[in-house]
Structures are given as structure tokens and as C-alpha cells.
Structure 1
């Protein structure tokens, strides 16, 4: 006798598969949220200490830089390593938007700290004007950089470039505040550095719209510092600083 029941039009296994992967996405996102919440808190601590550079004379800045490293950057490095270990088990470009801004912010703090004479410059401790290379950033964070041969957590070239634009913004602000603190030589050094950095940016053929806009904005940071230098020059306040910078 023939059965009157019609055959199933859709295989239930399809929805079982979708459900299992949806649950996995929820679990992954929850774990990433836990890690990045801690990481962002640590970065905020570092940024809070970093904001004090605008009211700290250069002669007294080393203890502040040490505090930034020990209480902000070092804890964040531990979170970055935890994030890297967990995230490397999943497709990088599916989840990297969850942490990319955090990486940029942390690298920016590292770049500013290193420029001011921190970040373990053993060869010339306390020397200002050093730009951390992306390879150095990867070594400090103990994570890969610019991976193209495997799908793992890493620091990208884009994140590093965006962090450099943050560096110029922070230094342009410091250039003005250092005049208030009477450290005109620091203003001159900043002016020379961000001009060189902007010139380097002009060599890049950037296709990414966000990168292009952020790099274009650096020219306004340069102009802001040039205006300060021009005003100081009119007042004849930096003749010796000019000679040192030349």
C-alpha cells in the first residue's frame, strides 16, 4: 500500500548545520568581547597616563614613560597575546574588525612613548625622536606582522600607518604645549620629525580610502606646528634651536 505522506522537501540537517555554526559565532564573539573589553581598559589606562605628557617637562618625563609602559602597555601586551592565541583559531578577516581599532590605539601609544624616549631604547636610553618600526612593534607585542601566507592573528600595515597618523596628531598638540612649558627645542624637534614623516607618507600609493583620508590629515598637523614655529621665529625665540635642528 502506497504511503500518503509526501517526502520532506528540505533536509533538516541543513538547519542543524546552520544552528551549530550560529552557536559557534556567538561563543567566539562572547570570548572576543571579554578579551577586548579588558584590552581596551588597559589601553585607556595607558592613554590616560600619556595625556600627562602635555603638562610634564622633558626633564621629568622618564618616570612618566616608565609608568605608561609598566601600568598600561605591559598589561595590554598580555591581553594581545591572549587575543592572538584565541583569534588565530578562526578566520582572521571574519573577526578582525573586533580588535583592529584597539591595536591601532595601542600601537599609537607605543609610538608616542618610544618617540619621547621610552620603550626600552637600550642603546640610547631617553633619546627622543625614535620611530618604532613595525617589526619592533611585532617583537614587543610578540605577535606576527603583515601575514600574507597564513590565516592568523597579526598586526597589519594599515593598523601601523593609522597609528603613525595618531602619532603626528599627538605630537602636534605636544608641540604647542611644550612652548607653554618653555621647551622650545622640543617644538622644533617635533616640527622636523612630522615634516619628515609626512614626506615619507607621500611616497605611499594608498588605495584604502580611510588610510588616504587619515594620511591627508597629517598635513594639517604639520601646518599647525609650522604656525607655532613661525610665531616663535617672529619673536626671535628659537635662533639656537634652529641651529641644533639644522
Structure 2
């Protein structure tokens, strides 16, 4: 005979996990909603001249800080439970937030949070410090930003920058595509140094070369039309 209390105990554990997931989902849904607001603000960069970009960056910074507050709430709950059991609940939204942070930083925002070694983007340590969360924890079962999440966020940022290169030309800004091209090529070179085992990460990182080519085509066309010189400066 099987003791039915075994199944009653299992059901109790299932109920407890459901409560935890529901609490995490509520926080992540709020993070996602605020994330959509942040992305909507940053999308204005595609139709805003460079000399007017500060208004976009100021609004984006406010929105990003609002998301940071949700990450603080998320960390407080997640730290009480096994990380890899529940991190799938928030991983995508955390990636989106980091991508927004990186794009905002590249455009010239969040200056005080960039490390001295880079003015173009924020390292994983910079992002962790800004969000006040650990990064790439080893031997500790606690909430943190993983290397995979950070790299996926960088890939999303590159995809957005390739689109910005095209729209910058529409706005009459011929120098920004050159800057984007130089940055994305350096970032792509960095990714080529990585021996990626994660299937999703490896597949998405392969897409960087298409973003780089898209920007190179824009710069090449500007060069053919004599709209920029050899140094990438608008004529």
C-alpha cells in the first residue's frame, strides 16, 4: 500500500512553488510594463536629431531608474529561493532592461555609471553596479545578472543600432552611421573571441554580422555619394 500522505506532501510543495511563481510573475509583469515604456522612449531616438537627443536620454533615464526599482523588489524575493529554478521567469525582461541601459549609455546617457575604461558602453560590472545586483555569481545561489543575459542584451543593442544607422541618414546625420559602424565592428570582433556553448546565444551572436553588414552598406553608400570623407566626417 502507498501512503497517500506522500501525494498530499507533494501537493503542498506544488502549492508553495505556485505561490512563489505568482509573486515573481507579478513583479516581472510590472518590470515588463515599465520596460515597454522605456523602449518607447528610446525609440524616439530614431526620429530625433543628435543635437536634441538629451531630452530623450533624460526621459529614458527616469524610466530606467523606475525599472531598477522593480529589479530591487525582484531581487528581494528571488534571493529567498533557488536561482536556477526560477530565473526563467525574469531572464527575458532583465535582458531587455540591460539592452535599454546599454543603448541609453551608447547614445550619451548614464555617463556617471560608465567605467573609466569605456565610454561607448557599460561593462557587465558597470551594469551590475548600476542595478545594485551581483554579476556572474559562482558558488552562491542568489539573484544575479548572468554573462549570457548580458551578452544577449548586447546583441539586442547592436540590432537596434543598425536600425538607428539607417534612420540617422534620413535625419541628415551622416557621421553617426560611421560611429555606429566602428562600434559594432569592434563589438563583433569581441564576440568572435568567445567560444560560446549556449545554443541560443551562439545562434543570436551569429546575427551580429548581418547587423554589421547593414551598417557597412549605409556607410558605403554615404561614401559613394561623397557625403562623408575618408575619416567619416560629413562633407
- The Cα of 1:129 is off from its aligned counterpart by 5.6
Task: Compute the displacement of 1:240 (Å).
Answer: 6.2
Match of 1:105? 96
User: Structure 1: how far apart are the matches of 2:183 and 2:177?
Assistant: 10
Q: 2:192 aligned to 199, 202, 216, which one?
A: 202
2:26 maps to which residue?
A: 34
Report if the CA contact (8 A) 2:114-2:122 is conserved: no
Runs (5+) with no aligned partner, structure 1: 1-8
Q: Does 1:142 align with 2:142?
A: no
Residue 63 of structure 1: CA displacement?
A: 1.5
> Residue 155 of structure 2 contacts residue 204 of structure 2 at CA under 8 Å; is this kept in 1?
yes
Give the ranges of 4+ consecutive aligned residues of structure 1 lying more than 2 Å apart after TM superposition: 120-124, 240-244
Matched residue, 2:84:
93
CA distance in 2, matches of 1:205, 1:64: 37
Q: Does residue 171 in structure 1 map to residue 161 in structure 2?
A: yes
Q: Quick one: distance in 2 between partners of 1:92 and 1:121?
A: 30
Cα distance in 2, alignment partners of residues 170 and 206 from structure 1: 22
Match of 1:228 in 2: 218
TM-score by length of 2: 0.94
The number of residues matched between the two structures is 232
What's the TM-score, normalizing by structure 1? 0.90
Decide whether the 8 Å contact of 1:49 with 1:64 is kept in 2. yes
Asked if residue 25 in structure 1 is aligned to residue 17 in structure 2, the reply is yes
1:58 aligns with 2:62: no
Which residue, 171, 174, 183 being the options, matches 2:173?
A: 183
- Could you tell me which residue of structure 2 aligns to residue 213 of structure 1? 203
Contact 1:129 1:193 in 2 (8 A): no
**1:5 matched residue in structure 2:** none
Structure 2: which 5+ runs fail to align?
none
8 Å CA contact 2:78–2:143 kept in 1: the answer is: yes
Q: 1:13 Cα shift?
A: 2.8
